[in-house]
Structure 1
Amino acid sequence: MGVTSVSDLYRERVKAGLLREDEAQAQVLPLMDAVVDSLQDQPAASTNGGWRSWFGGGQADAAPADGSQGLYLWGGVGRGKSMLMDLIVDAAPIEAKRRVHFHEFMQEIQTGLEAARKRGDQDTVRPVAQEVAASVRLLCFDEMQITDIADAMIVGRLFQVLFEEGVVIVTTSNRTPDDLYKHGLNRQLFLPFIKLLKERMQVVELASPTDYRQGRAAGGQVWFSPANAEARAAMDATWADLTGGATPAPREIEVKGRKVILPKCADRVGRASFWDLCGQPLGPADYLAITREVDVLMIDAIPRLSMSNYNEAKRFVTLIDTLYEAKLKLIASAADEPEQLYNEGEGSFEFERTTSRLREMQDAAWGARAAG
């Protein structure tokens, strides 16, 4: 039985009007097809010990014909990297596959390492990596970036074991491998990992001249009111336009031992409802952590604010202040225009500053970070 290729999926979605054909994207499709082809002799599932019981393990069994063991796709924001990686996941003819945001994955690894330390394991990384390899044959990371020294010190060893165990890795990044952890503390200890990436993965730049988010992010409508079905449809269309058709996924952000969840994320665009962000006991540190994860934040269904939802209103003010200071692009649906959201009761006077900021954030020149 034939395997659906990434190229076939891409052409189907272009024909259906879900994607716009892009020459730079089309040029990397054969490399993605090769990744899928390297997986096609793999059974969809195994009942005895996972996929490795069928292969018997080992990197030679898993490597594609060109000798590489994965794909490192890098380029500017909004070029469609996440969307292309999603196509690999969709086309891969196996069940032992996983797509995860790199930051979220590294949090899971740190938790596993802590458990290994408590067990007294001398090599804490190998058992954690082997546990990952026992469940996945294809591991897809979105947005690889190394900003934490703890991650930098373990990621090389982690990838080494994953490669040894035969895992095929696909990752996207805004940076070429040589720029990962640039100017980081003790970076010389990180350089062997960069060498490993370049040896074991095909490194490809997605050099599209088009930023598919720029049209919306630099001048499209960003405030939709009232928050009715029409506004919801407009928000959905904006989401699809900004993410280039990438599959959304929840993202867990760890903040001082707590988890903040953005329900939908794709290609540094996040989306949540007002109640997701302001109906929970979140504060400045949580909102600041969100600004590090996304360049564009979409908020659905901002209600009218008053004494009846005073605590939520206070959090909303804090959220907008944080987004404003971070120069984040905000797209929202709301019960009314900013000036009419909170015009009576305690806190309404202080909300005038928030109204001013919301208006400023609707300007076409706002959010250069998101479009750049």
Structure 2
Amino acid sequence: MTSRRLDRVRDAVEAASAREGFTLDRGQRDVLERLLQVAAGLPGLGARRRPAPRPAPRPTSGPASHVASHAPSRPAPRGLYVWGPAGRGKSWLAGELFTAVSRELAPGATKRVHVYDLFRELHAAIHARRVASRGGARAAVGQHGPTRGWRTRALAPEPDSPDARPEPRPDTPPSAVDAAIDDLLRGTTLLYLDELHLHDSGDATLLTRLLRRTFEAGVVVLATSNYAPDTLLPNPLWHHLAEPGIALLREHLDVVELAGPTDYRSLGGRGRPGFAAGAWLAPGTTAQLAARGLRAPGPGEATRLRSGPRTFAVSAAREGHDAGPAELWVTFEDLATRATSTLEYLDWAARFPRWVVTGVPLLTEVDREAQQRFVAVVDVLCDADVELVVTSPHDRATFLAARTDRPDAFRTASRLQLLDAPVAARRS
């Protein structure tokens, strides 16, 4: 990348921080320099542009066979793995640089995917290919239980996990996983894996397959995470399944920590739209809702919301209109204590740009599955930039003080600080 292009990328990131109302601290500037080094080595820019390497053609018939290796035409520059505490600005920095770099590359040469969307997309594509190869339908991948990808105890790898068995089943072509990955990578020069974390053994083996295929294709990887690479899939019973992927990350990516004492989300949403436009309302009175232009649903608005083959009870599913966006109203009980999953949250986040979750208790008052579902809800909505309004009998400070040891709950606590938390008027 030419110095002029790099200057444009740097200027775009710094202009974005100015719009947000803050100045990059020393740690963030150091990480920005490392990100710019990655950008400087990307192929396909300026007069020396080369097409992004494409996977080798796959056989369309005949017996199942492994896909041939597709080495890049020249060594790919090293990528970057940025990790550190929640709220330090990892995803923000990488996201702004990714946006600026995308403007300098050919359309479609960059791809950003959040960990939830990554595994959902790959599982769905693998399932579709396996169904097609068998000539019939079966239960969709990802419908195994209430918390796919958020298990709270160690389970054996499932049959649909790509490396769960030493030998593939005769009716499952071993190329199905690689074919789905190749489709994801096709035409890509830079792949950004946002909020990378692993708590599922099947996803760990799938990540290894993805990384191997990605690096064989010469695609540069940028990743952000709250976890150092060696701490991915922390469950000691299954950590060994993540070790091959961790080795690939360390082989092809430089690892840098963005540490520091400041959680920038604790400064609030600074008037931003989307997730940060939401609020934590305690206790969630009619007056508090009305002050935000919200009206609690009447009994006649209760309905069942379809997602895939299943339906779920919600308080209201309002269509958008000139006065406001489409709204999903759902109780904590219906959202987190029922058998919902990230599949539903991703689906509903795409359909409803505003969610109101009512009656949120302290997480220490509910079981571990409900805790983990709420963690997943906040993660999905924040990544999708969906406005979240919470009503709770507890103020936000009390809620955050009642800590839970669920995986990634620390990130939930950070993200909830983006919400406005007005103090309720004292009752006389």
Name the structure 1 match of 2:179.
Answer: 127
One of 80, 84, 91 as aligned partner of 1:82: 91
Deviation at 1:73, TM superposition (A): 0.8
Deviation at 1:177, TM superposition (A): 0.4
2:76 matches 1:99: no
One of 213, 224, 240 as aligned partner of 1:188: 240
Deviation at 1:89, TM superposition (A): 1.5
**Gap change, CA 1:41 and 1:274, over 3 Å in 2:** closer
Name the structure 2 match of 1:3.
Answer: 5
**Gap change, CA 1:222 and 1:278, over 3 Å in 2:** closer
Name the structure 1 match of 2:197.
Answer: 145
Deviation at 1:81, TM superposition (A): 0.9
Deviation at 1:256, TM superposition (A): 9.1
2:394 matches 1:360: yes
2:32 matches 1:29: yes
SS in 2 for 1:204: strand
TM-score under structure 1 length normalisation: 0.62
Name the structure 2 match of 1:269.
Answer: none
Q: Percent identity?
A: 26
Name the structure 2 match of 1:20.
Answer: 23
Question: Which amino acid is the alignment partner of residue 22 of structure 1?
Answer: D
2:82 matches 1:73: yes
Counterpart CA distance in 1 for 2:308 and 2:202 is 15
Name the structure 2 match of 1:251.
Answer: none
Counterpart CA distance in 2 for 1:98 and 1:168 is 11
Deviations 1:47-95 (A, max 9, x none): xxx7437xxx73353612xxx2x11111111111110111122121222
The answer to whether the 8 Å contact 1:62/1:167 transfers is no
Gaps of 5+ in 1: 233-254, 261-271, 303-314, 339-357
The aligned runs of 1:144-293 (5 Å cut-off) are: 144-216=196-268, 222-223=280-281, 226=288, 231=292, 275-278=327-330, 283-285=335-337, 289=341
**Gap change, CA 1:22 and 1:288, over 3 Å in 2:** farther
Name the structure 2 match of 1:113.
Answer: 126
**Gap change, CA 1:283 and 1:149, over 3 Å in 2:** same
2:42 matches 1:39: yes
The answer to whether the 8 Å contact 1:149/1:185 transfers is no
Name the structure 1 match of 2:150.
Answer: none
Deviations 1:181-234 (A, max 9, x none): 1125443232121111101011111112211123449xxx84396557x848xx
**Gap change, CA 1:181 and 1:258, over 3 Å in 2:** farther
Tell me which moved more, 126-135 or 138-147.
126-135
Deviation at 1:277, TM superposition (A): 4.0
SS in 1 for 2:74: helix
Deviation at 1:103, TM superposition (A): 1.8
**Gap change, CA 1:360 and 1:189, over 3 Å in 2:** closer
**Gap change, CA 1:168 and 1:301, over 3 Å in 2:** closer
Deviation at 1:285, TM superposition (A): 5.0
SS in 1 for 2:175: coil
Question: Which amino acid is the alignment partner of residue 361 of structure 1?
Answer: D
SS in 1 for 2:328: helix
Deviation at 1:14, TM superposition (A): 3.5
The answer to whether the 8 Å contact 1:226/1:333 transfers is no
**Gap change, CA 1:366 and 1:177, over 3 Å in 2:** same
Counterpart CA distance in 2 for 1:11 and 1:32 is 13
**Gap change, CA 1:287 and 1:76, over 3 Å in 2:** farther
The answer to whether the 8 Å contact 2:90/2:224 transfers is yes
Name the structure 2 match of 1:252.
Answer: none
Counterpart CA distance in 2 for 1:179 and 1:277 is 37
**Gap change, CA 1:333 and 1:197, over 3 Å in 2:** closer
The answer to whether the 8 Å contact 2:329/2:355 transfers is no
SS in 1 for 2:28: helix
Counterpart CA distance in 2 for 1:257 and 1:23 is 50
SS in 2 for 1:79: coil
The answer to whether the 8 Å contact 1:3/1:40 transfers is no
The answer to whether the 8 Å contact 1:43/1:51 transfers is no
The answer to whether the 8 Å contact 2:53/2:72 transfers is no
Counterpart CA distance in 2 for 1:258 and 1:99 is 29
Aligned residues: 285
Gaps of 5+ in 2: 55-69, 134-171, 270-278, 294-306, 313-323, 379-386, 402-409, 416-428
Question: Which amino acid is the alignment partner of residue 71 of structure 2?
Answer: G
Question: Which amino acid is the alignment partner of residue 3 of structure 1?
Answer: R
The answer to whether the 8 Å contact 2:52/2:188 transfers is yes
SS in 2 for 1:98: strand
The answer to whether the 8 Å contact 1:102/1:144 transfers is yes
Counterpart CA distance in 1 for 2:247 and 2:311 is 33
Counterpart CA distance in 2 for 1:31 and 1:187 is 29
The answer to whether the 8 Å contact 1:24/1:207 transfers is yes
Question: Which amino acid is the alignment partner of residue 218 of structure 2?
Answer: G
SS in 2 for 1:30: helix
**Gap change, CA 1:104 and 1:300, over 3 Å in 2:** closer
SS in 2 for 1:141: strand
TM-score under structure 2 length normalisation: 0.55
**Gap change, CA 1:286 and 1:30, over 3 Å in 2:** farther
Counterpart CA distance in 1 for 2:334 and 2:358 is 10
**Gap change, CA 1:169 and 1:211, over 3 Å in 2:** same
Counterpart CA distance in 1 for 2:311 and 2:37 is 37
